[in-house]
Structure formats: structure tokens, C-alpha cells
Structure 1
Amino acid sequence: MTTPYRCPNCKTNKSRFNLIRQVPQSVKMDPNTGSIVEEYSSESLQAFHMPYRGPELRVQCAACGLIEDERTFVKFGEMK
């Protein structure tokens, strides 16, 4: 993370952010109770269980609260 950020919403914040690391947990849930029936590792996913393919990191502007993908803040930070 050596790229400057800037919030695309409030357009003024360049220094205060919350970095949100996303850690997916693959589970099978009981449809009636919502309790976890089985937990899968990334190596043991069943045929119909798609692995998580979203971003590992999300960023929240600590001034206005906007939460977006890190690329959004990076691209806006590159603009002068």
C-alpha cells in the first residue's frame, strides 16, 4: 500500500481511512434454523459451493463513511 488514497465521495479526505480485511468463511447452513451444519476449508469445497472471489481489502473513508473497493480510492487518489 504505497499509493495515495482519496475519497471519491467527500473528495477532501486523503489521510483518514479504515482498512477492512475480508476473511471468507465457507459454510453450509441449515435452511430452517440458520445454524452452521458444516464448515469447509478452501481445499475441501463441495462441487456446488463456489469459492469467494471478491476483494481481500475494502476501504472506508473515516470522514464520510463510504465503503468501497480499494481500487476506487487508489484511482481517485491518482487524480490531481
Structure 2
Amino acid sequence: MTAPYLCPNCKTNRSRFNIIEQLSHAVKKNPATGEITEEYETASAEIFHIQYKGPAYKVQCGACGLIEEELAFIKRAESTPNNRN
């Protein structure tokens, strides 16, 4: 999170962002009612339950609202030099 960001959508915002922490909860739901019938610990999930492998957090542009993985904001900043140094 220490790398410079530039929004890949609006291409102007370099300073205002929201960091969104993602917490995964493995659950089993009743298909008819939608009620949660079981919650799994990471190590105890059923054999057919794939564990979440996504990013721990995402970034939201504070100007246009785009939500993406951090790498998209970093890559845009690397490819577009900031001439305000």
C-alpha cells in the first residue's frame, strides 16, 4: 500500500482512495430458505467447498467510485508519470 496510485478509470485522482478490507466467511446455506445452516473454519471446510483465494483488500477511487484490485491503480500510476514533482 505504499506505492503511488492513479485511478485507471478517471485518470486524474492520485490522492483520494478508500481501502476496502475483505473478510471471507465460509458458510453453507439452505437452498430453499437461504438460511445459514453451517459456518466453517478455514481448516474445516467440506471437501467440495473451495476456499477464498482473492485479495485481502481492494481500492476504491475517492473521485469516481471505481473499485478494483490495488495492482490496477499501481500499474496506471507507473505507466503515467506524475509531472508535479
Q: Deviations over 1:12-70 (max 9, x none)?
A: 00000010010000000000010100000101011000000111111100100000011
The alignment status of 1:12 with 2:17, answered yes or no, reads no
TM-score normalised by length of structure 1: 0.96
Alpha-carbon distance between aligned partners in 2 of 1:6 and 1:67, rounded to the nearest angstrom: 12
Alpha-carbon distance between aligned partners in 1 of 2:20 and 2:29, rounded to the nearest angstrom: 25
Match in the other structure for 1:38? 38
Deviation at 1:78, TM superposition (A): 1.4
Amino acid at match of 2:11: K
Q: Which runs of 5+ in 1 are unaligned?
A: none
Match in the other structure for 1:65? 65
Match in the other structure for 1:55? 55
3-state SS, counterpart of residue 44 of structure 2:
coil
Q: Which structure has the larger Rg over C-alpha atoms?
A: 2
4+ long deviations beyond 4 Å: none
Alpha-carbon distance between aligned partners in 2 of 1:25 and 1:74, rounded to the nearest angstrom: 28
Match in the other structure for 1:3? 3
Kindly indicate which of the two structures has a greater share of residues assigned to helix.
Answer: 2
TM-score normalised by length of structure 2: 0.91
Match in the other structure for 1:75? 75
Amino acid at match of 2:67: I
What is the number of residues matched between the two proteins?
A: 80
